[in-house]
Amino acid sequence: MTEVVFANEMDEEMTLNMGPHHPSTHGVLRFIVKTDGEIIRKATPDVGYLHRSLEKIAERTTYQGFMPFTDRIDYVAAMFPNQAWAMACEKLMGIEVPPRAEYLRVISCELNRIISHLIALGCTAMDVGAITPFPWALREREWCNDLIEELCGARITYNYHRIGGVSFDMPKGWPAKVLKWLDTFEPSMDEFNRLITYNEIYVQRLANVAVINGEEARDFGLVGPNLRASGVAWDLRKEDGYSVYPKFDFNMSVGRGEVGTVGDCWDRFWVRIDECLESAKIVRQALDQIDEYPEDEILATLPRKIKPKGEAYVRVESARGDMGIYLLGRGQAEPYRAHIRTGSFTSMGIIEAKSPGLFVADLVALIASIDVVAPEIDR
């Protein structure tokens, strides 16, 4: 009798494309995934599908004229590239920003941080199969967007900050509306936690998955919530103390391994929830302190001709972490060199290192928990 031997199909490695239009890739991203069945052997990011030459555009337009383009660096949290570009220009030109404008920058940025994190939280839940939390997060985001629209006239691409300050002061009655919304938003986060954060199935999907320890996070250049979720206490708002952040009392959100291991997907989710509440604290304090400064002082007096010489580098703590802008001026109306450093680009490198051994479904959770935004990766 002849023995029939069947080939083991699981011994064959498959190469799959995730993206560039997969719904769980948070933009136009592509991952080349090598799998053994459901187990990933390697996932390699293939970036560049959204490259728009923003840095070269910056070198072909004026310092003031590039401000609307900065909205496209991170369209989910556009206030931060607005602020970073303005601060880089101000450092290069030696311009001092009026205190009231600094407060307005902080208020707008912290509201935008909440907006960005709500999208990240809702998308993470939806990517792993929980649909209901997304509209809950979107509801709060839309109310906050209404407030931002009253402040600057836009809901996504704000173009609010200016070299030397901001474009508009707060509308009459606007602070009261913000405080009223915060009074409802903070309790709503407790509801959100009951709905999904501590949901048993959700915890099992994220806890102990794709753990990134502190040393790995530093070695791969992770920044912002992803770095702090790995147990590394580093926040530019405290460490660098730029703008008027030293005047505020707020805590740094750091991963603690509450339901799993420090640095897992759940910690990266929880850190963003906690940061929303800390941002609410900062906004409350800023609105309380801003009345000390005259309403008409929101923009510094700029030189008639803006043709600086020298170089400058500034960093801000954006929703996705350390965002830096380098400028080199050679006495022309446009920068000779502009370079933008973003948190999403640096975080992509660790996906290939952490993907071996994960299930394909866990790769989706890893990408969502890192909260990458495609324009920040490609620029």
Q: In this structure, is residue 190 part of a structural domain?
A: yes
Q: What would the mean pLDDT of 144-161 be, rounded to a whole number?
A: 92
User: Could you give the C-alpha distances from 61 to 151, 318, 333, in angstroms and in order?
Assistant: 27, 24, 8
Angle between the N-to-C axes of helices 133-152 and 174-192, in degrees from 0 to 180, rounded to the nearest 10: 170
127: nearest Cα among 305, 377, 361, 373: 361
Phi/psi at 373 (nearest 5 deg)? -125, 125
Q: In this structure, is residue 25 part of a structural domain?
A: yes
pLDDT tens string 352-368: 898 998 898 898 899 88
Question: Exposed (0-12), middle (13-18) or buried (19+): which is 190, by Cβ within 10 Å?
Answer: exposed
Q: In this structure, is residue 360 part of a structural domain?
A: yes
DSSP 3: P
DSSP 304: S
Averaged pLDDT score across all residues of the chain: 89
Q: How confident is the model at residue 5 (pLDDT cuts 50, 70, 90)?
A: very low
Query: Which pairing describes strands 321-330 and 30-36: parallel, antiparallel, or unpaired?
Result: unpaired
Count up the domains in the chain and report the number.
Answer: 1
Q: In this structure, is residue 328 part of a structural domain?
A: yes
In sequence order, which residues have a C-beta less than 8 Å from that of residue 354 and are 6 or more positions away?
210, 212, 366
User: Could you give the C-alpha distances from 40 to 14, 15, 210, in angstroms and in order?
Assistant: 9, 10, 12
Residue 11 has a pLDDT of 62
Q: In this structure, is residue 4 part of a structural domain?
A: no
User: Which residue range(s) make up the domain with 325?
Assistant: 9-378
Asked whether the predicted pLDDT for residue 7 surpasses 80, the reply is no
Terminal alpha carbon distance of the chain = 66
pLDDT tens string 97-129: 999 999 999 999 999 999 999 999 998 999 888
Element (H, E) at 34: strand 30-36
Q: In this structure, is residue 3 part of a structural domain?
A: no
Cis, bond preceding 20 (omega within 30 deg of 0): yes
CATH classification of the domain holding 61: 1.10.645.10
In sequence order, which residues have a C-beta less than 8 Å from that of residue 370 and are 6 or more positions away?
226, 268, 347, 350, 351
pLDDT tens string 205-257: 999 988 999 999 999 999 999 999 999 999 999 999 899 999 999 999 999 88
Q: How confident is the model at residue 21 (pLDDT cuts 50, 70, 90)?
A: confident
Q: How far apart are CA 367 and CA 376, in angstroms?
A: 14
pLDDT tens string 60-72: 999 999 999 999 8
Element (H, E) at 214: helix 214-219
The most confident of the ranges 1-5, 267-271, 340-344 is 267-271
Partners of 315 in the β-ladder = 324
For the chain, percent of residues with pLDDT exceeding 90: 60
**pTM confidence score:** 0.91
Residue 13 has a pLDDT of 83
CB of 205 closer than 8 Å to CB of 128: yes
Report helix, strand or coil for 268: helix
Asked whether the predicted pLDDT for residue 172 surpasses 90, the reply is yes
Q: In this structure, is residue 2 part of a structural domain?
A: no
Asked whether the predicted pLDDT for residue 1 surpasses 60, the reply is no
For the chain, percent of residues with pLDDT exceeding 70: 96
Residue 24 has a pLDDT of 66
Q: What would the mean pLDDT of 63-91 be, rounded to a whole number?
A: 92
Residue 293 has a pLDDT of 86
Q: In this structure, is residue 1 part of a structural domain?
A: no
Q: HSE (CB half, 13 Å, CA atoms) of 132?
A: 9
Classify the phi-psi angles of 131: left when phi > 0, otherwise alpha if psi is within -120 to 50, otherwise beta: alpha
Query: What single-letter amino acid sits at 280?
Result: A
Residue 23 has a pLDDT of 64
